[in-house]
A and B are shown apart, each in its own frame.
Chain A
Amino acid sequence: DADVTQTPRNRITKTGKRIMLECSQTKGHDRMYWYRQDPGLGLRLIYYSFDVKDINKGEISDGYSVSRQAQAKFSLSLESAIPNQTALYFCATSEWTGSSYNEQFFGPGTRLTVL
């Protein structure tokens, strides 16, 4: 089945370390998103991309960067991790059909802990 996958699923790191979270999809979707989830705060958008050449900041992009290496791959980097970046991170994809919007499909999530 076509899916959205994330690696790693869990990561513990130390303050100041550089971390990369990876997302791959086999759905053939053009749009990819990175969210973080914190208790009581819902899903907040970090970055999103509509194709390889199109990257956009979301509402909480400070301290993060992204790379869209191919249509199927979208990576999120924390250049210098800090404890308040401890959260559950989700990648998501969606497809623009030219006439309608469609649901987002989420990856399984990456639980990141910054000590």
Chain B
Amino acid sequence: GENVEQHPSTLSVQEGDSAVIKCTYSDSASNYFPWYKQELGKRPQLIIDIRSNVGEKKDQRIAVTLNKTAKHFSLHITETQPEDSAVYFCAALQEGTYKYIFGTGTRLKVLA
């Protein structure tokens, strides 16, 4: 069935360093790829998204890249800060069924 693989499951970085989280999707019909941040005890919230007709999108310290041929997309966080510590989820929206398939999450820890 449809699947989104996310790596790594945990990631520790020093404050100020960059963090990269990678996802691979299986359904080539997927055309919308959001990233959500979930702080401890809170609900997931969208931080950035990308559509299949775009290869890269940036929003301040956050960027997402998409490689449709390889069915990969990645989240890049630069100049990490302690408040970036959270669980991050990638997702892929299937065209046709309009189901969002989520990755298993990455726990990011930014060490001060």
Contacts and interface: CB of A to CB of B under 8 A. Distances in A.
B9 A50 contact: no
Given A31-B98, A101-B31, A101-B32, A90 B103 contact: no
Contact of A41 (B31, B32, B45, B104): B104
B44 A43 contact: yes
Contact of B46 (A35, A42, A103, A109): A103
B89 A43 contact: yes
A59 B97 CA distance: 12
Contacts of A45: 99-101
Interface of A: 31, 33, 35, 40-45, 48, 50, 56, 58-59, 90, 96, 100-101, 103-104, 106-109
B73 interface: no
Contacts of A40: 9, 104-105
Given A40-B104, A48-B99, 17 more contacts: A31-B98, A40-B9, A41-B104, A42-B6, A42-B102, A42-B103, A42-B104, A42-B105, A56-B97, A96-B98, A100-B51, A101-B32, A103-B34, A103-B49, A104-B34, A106-B43, A106-B45
